[in-house]
Amino acid sequence: MHNPALAACGIDAQYIRVQVPVGRVAEALRTFVQQGFRGINVTIPHKFEALDAVDVIDPLAQVLGAVNTVAIDEDGQLHGYNTDGPGFLRSVKEAFGVEVRDLRVLILGAGGGAGRAVAVQCALENCQHLVLLNRTRTKVEQLAGEIETLGTTPTTIVDWTDESLLAVLSEVDLIVNGTSLGMKVDDAPLLPAGALTDKHLVFDMVYRPGGQLTSLGEAAREAGARYVDGATLLLHQGAISFEHWFQRPAPLDAMRAGLASALIA
């Protein structure tokens, strides 16, 4: 999506992929500065390492605890951002026409990665209620403690059992899958059968090539729930990265078309 965006804006640059070993992120970032790079996206497993490798950390990235976008200024300084949270907000607004602050949100897999970033972003938006689930309970207990310092969002931790999920699902509006479950056809279902209703909004951070539905997507369709997959988040967090690099609005239509073509291919 970034190369179509660069072409649409007439920017003489190219977006490329670079493999970086764990433990060498700081070295790689300095090399990018020396080679005249304008910006970098940082993906798993380097987001936490990048937080310590940049010169200037955006306050939101500091709160979210990870950097996934680096912009290089004219002086060669590295500015670290996190676009997962803001991209999530834009995605929810586009997909469902509502603001996160007006919703009761359940996050499956809130203990780390993008799921954690979304949980913190929801708390910063002061959503109506935040319900956290994770296979490792201690991780969400720590996260809930951090969220208490951010605002007044009521936060509940729920055990990941069918009984607990069935009890809480009637009390939430938006369900977010922050796990990797759904990438494979034979992945275990995230929710008990029949748990979703047509009143639910379902945001799946997983996406499959060609727009194939995940098991959560299939369950949402059967229930008549509104559903969107992770390609929407990928688009919007990428657009925000572009805006950090070039200080201009991202050409969203060009990026959307490029992303759609890549996913089909």
Res. 183 pLDDT band, cuts 50 70 90: low
What is the structure's pLDDT at 181?
66
What is the structure's pLDDT at 182?
61
Residue 130 has pLDDT above 70, yes or no: yes
Class of domain 2-82+232-264 as given by CATH: alpha beta
User: What order do you get walking across the sheet with 155-157 strand by strand?
Assistant: 155-157, 129-133, 104-108, 174-177, 201-204, 226-228
71-95 b/e (C-beta count within 10 Å ≥ 16 → b): bbeeeeebbbbbbbbbbbbbbbeeb
What is the structure's pLDDT at 44?
83
Q: Give residue limits of the domains in the chain.
A: 2-82+232-264, 96-229
What is the structure's pLDDT at 136?
85
Residue entry with tokens 């499959």:
208
Res. 233 pLDDT band, cuts 50 70 90: very high
Cα-Cα-Cα-Cα dihedral sign, residues 38, 44, 46, 47: positive
What is the structure's pLDDT at 179?
85
Hey, do 2-82+232-264 and 96-229 end up sharing a CATH topology, with the first three levels equal?
yes
User: What integer best gives the mean pLDDT of the chain?
Assistant: 92
Note the pTM of the prediction, 2 decimals.
0.92
Class of domain 96-229 as given by CATH: alpha beta
User: What order do you get walking across the sheet with 39-41 strand by strand?
Assistant: 39-41, 69-72, 78-81, 56-57
Calculate mean pLDDT across residues 17-43: 96
Catalytic residue set: 47
Residue 243 has pLDDT above 90, yes or no: yes
Residue type, 247: Q
